[in-house]
A and B are shown apart, each in its own frame.
Chain A
């Protein structure tokens, strides 16, 4: 199995001012992420979300979009590990800023899927993931490799 029918929407999220500040204070307290006056004076001209916030939000939506099939036993791998284990990613880009009150639409696309050689019933995925503002501007793209159990069996 290779490829898919192009990018699939996994969800959307509105980055409010408070959300941007909350994440950035914890993990990325650069002035243009945590200080509205400093952000206005920066080359961004206003508060922008941490790029790590954007990509972490992608992950949260990806997990929620991949719930296990109903009726599986609680110890089924698809219940315990719905999207499995990440190996890593090759190139991650933040090509445009996410500003306060931007609503961002998140996508995933399977580039390749093949059975794991070591873990029966699991699949190794190579995905291209992305996020766009509602005007279509891409704000995030990255290629992820991970191994996940089959959603049913």
Chain B
């Protein structure tokens, strides 16, 4: 993430990769999505998925983890170059989230974000609104999750 003025529409940034391990999938799902095909490998084998799959919320929350880590990394890089530490504002929500394919134990998901639209917000001169397309793709190149977000990004003069 860079300053609002420097964001390039259409630029796709890879945020990071994560291999979903069975133990973490089960630990997450026990708390937040305790359906048998998310928490019980034996029951999952007998379900229509045929094997344990990650909760879609786990796949989504992991995107957030990589988004934050990526922003912290690029803010530090900017600061090292003499820029100001960036702030990404809180998110009001997102739209059009789709879970397109199951995520199985051992799958490696590559998370990405792509700038789609920049909107200068009136009355908030220090921020600009960035609309982005976010995704997770598995090791076979299949899209497993995507959604659109809107986030406030600091402007240079702010």
Q: Which residue of B lies closest to A149 (CB)?
A: B48
Q: Are B43 and A80 in contact (CB under 8 A)?
A: yes
A151 at the interface (CB under 8 A from B): no
Number of interface residues of B (CB under 8 A): 32
Q: Mark B81-110, 1 if CB is under 8 A from A, else 0.
A: 000000010111111111100000000000
Residues of A near B65 (CB, < 8 A) are: 26-29
A117 at the interface (CB under 8 A from B): no
A6 at the interface (CB under 8 A from B): no
Q: Are B64 and A87 in contact (CB under 8 A)?
A: no
The 8 Å CB contact of A86, one of B37, B56, B61, B62, is B56
Residues on A facing B (Cβ under 8 Å): 26-30, 32, 44, 50-52, 55-57, 59-60, 63-64, 74-75, 77, 79-83, 85-95, 142
Which of B7-15, B26-34, B111-119 is near enough to bind chain A? Answer: B26-34
Residues on B facing A (Cβ under 8 Å): 31-37, 43, 46-48, 55-57, 60-62, 64-65, 68, 88, 90-99, 147
A117 CA to B93 CA in the complex, in Å? Answer: 32
The 22 sampled A-B contact pairs (Cβ below 8 Å) are A26-B61, A27-B62, A27-B65, A28-B65, A28-B68, A29-B68, A51-B91, A56-B61, A59-B32, A60-B32, A60-B33, A63-B33, A74-B43, A80-B46, A80-B48, A81-B35, A81-B36, A82-B36, A89-B96, A92-B93, A93-B93, A94-B91
Q: Assuming A27-B61, A94-B91, is B35 touching A63 (CB within 8 A)?
A: yes
Q: Which residue of B lies closest to A25 (CB)?
A: B65
Q: Are A80 and B32 in contact (CB under 8 A)?
A: no
Residues of B near A93 (CB, < 8 A) are: 92-93
Residues of B near A80 (CB, < 8 A) are: 35-37, 43, 46-48
Q: Are B36 and A79 in contact (CB under 8 A)?
A: yes
Q: Which residue of B lies closest to A60 (CB)?
A: B32
Q: Are B92 and A60 in contact (CB under 8 A)?
A: no
CB distance from B47 to the nearest CB of A (A): 4
Q: Are A28 and B35 in contact (CB under 8 A)?
A: no
Q: Are A60 and B34 in contact (CB under 8 A)?
A: yes
CB distance from B34 to the nearest CB of A (A): 5
